[in-house]
Copies of this chain bind each other. A is one copy, B any other.
């Protein structure tokens, strides 16, 4: 009997019990650290999962784009942070201004140009309520100014007539087996320096916001006010290989069918159009198998995943089903229209991926 025979493969499964446990564990960690939890909703893009996070004590949501914010605001979330240095056009400014009428809204900024575009295109009423957080670089070297530039930039933002609420960083260099917890140290140091720089310029930051799933457990509650992890809600093969989670706690998998044994290979129908093509330099493959920790996806194409199977374990047969753990949950979820929520081996419901493709 194949696994969940009523489902066509490939499709994404969410184990509801593990999901709820992961939500509770992170909520408890935030309470213990004395920080507010504002989970990043780009991971799940699901109104149902956001509701569970908020019910467990999250203070609001983090999103990456205006369209994600619009979707979660429409679903009733009234406290949103777009943790991204938006560049506002007239149309984007209009959308943000509308959003600000129905949700408490914060937005990232890392340049004077970005601040000026926001000031130009936000409606006057929005300019006085949208809260800007200056993005600082704590070691990922993506977006974000140097911590010591936070004060001068906050000054420029306020000179545009906008409100500065504090600073944020994403310690994304935690996504490396060598760094992980060390990134939390860098994060705290960067936010402290940013706060000092802002105070020197006459601004007292209300919020110092950080967080990533790999670094969360090492967060410095004495510095941070807010934590924004995303992937923890599911876990994925990256977190597994970083040692942040184990297969027993991973809530997201892709149900896949063995379609070929040609040439002694084992090929699944879960390709990069179902799992994503993410592969960090340190990853052992393109995904793992939830119930076969020794197996590795060694090659991926759009509709094929070639698996290397452990020598001592019996191969699944053609037509058998397995559960694949995507390397990167966020990109896998963004490929699906819905998530199949299951509990104790039974399908409970379908959750739409409401913010799928919400990139703008």
Q: How far is the CA of A113 from the CA of B337 in the complex (A)?
A: 30
Which residues of chain B have C-beta atoms less than 8 A from A336's C-beta? 357
Contact status A299-B142, CB under 8 Å: yes
Selected A-B contacts with CB under 8 Å, 16 pairs: A8-B91, A10-B360, A64-B302, A64-B303, A85-B260, A87-B259, A117-B319, A135-B262, A172-B301, A269-B359, A273-B330, A277-B278, A277-B279, A277-B328, A277-B331, A335-B335
Q: How far is the CB of A160 from chain B (nearest CB, A)?
A: 14
Which residues of chain B have C-beta atoms less than 8 A from A113's C-beta? 261, 317-319
Q: How far is the CA of A31 from the CA of B319 in the complex (A)?
A: 39
Contact status B10-A359, CB under 8 Å: yes
Q: Does A203 contact B (CB under 8 A)?
A: no
Q: Does A114 contact B (CB under 8 A)?
A: yes
Q: Does A166 contact B (CB under 8 A)?
A: no
Interface stretch, picked from A123-131, A143-151, A287-295, is: A143-151
Identify which of B141, B276, B331, B335 contacts A357 (C-beta below 8 A): B335
Q: How far is the CA of A84 from the CA of B42 in the complex (A)?
A: 32
Which residues of chain B have C-beta atoms less than 8 A from A334's C-beta? 273, 302, 335
Q: How far is the CA of A287 from the CA of B263 in the complex (A)?
A: 33
Identify which of B92, B141, B279 contacts A265 (C-beta below 8 A): B141
Q: How far is the CB of A82 from chain B (nearest CB, A)?
A: 10
Contact status B141-A263, CB under 8 Å: yes
Which residues of chain B have C-beta atoms less than 8 A from A278's C-beta? 272, 277
Ranked nearest first, the 8 interchain pairs of A and B with the lowest CB-CB distance are: A8-B360, A113-B318, A143-B260, A277-B278, A277-B277, A64-B303, A110-B262, A87-B259
Q: How far is the CA of A337 from the CA of B174 in the complex (A)?
A: 33
Contact status B318-A146, CB under 8 Å: no
Q: Does A99 contact B (CB under 8 A)?
A: no
Additional A-B contacts beyond A6-B91, A277-B277 (11; CB < 8 A): A85-B260, A87-B259, A114-B259, A114-B318, A142-B306, A143-B304, A144-B260, A145-B262, A276-B277, A277-B278, A279-B279
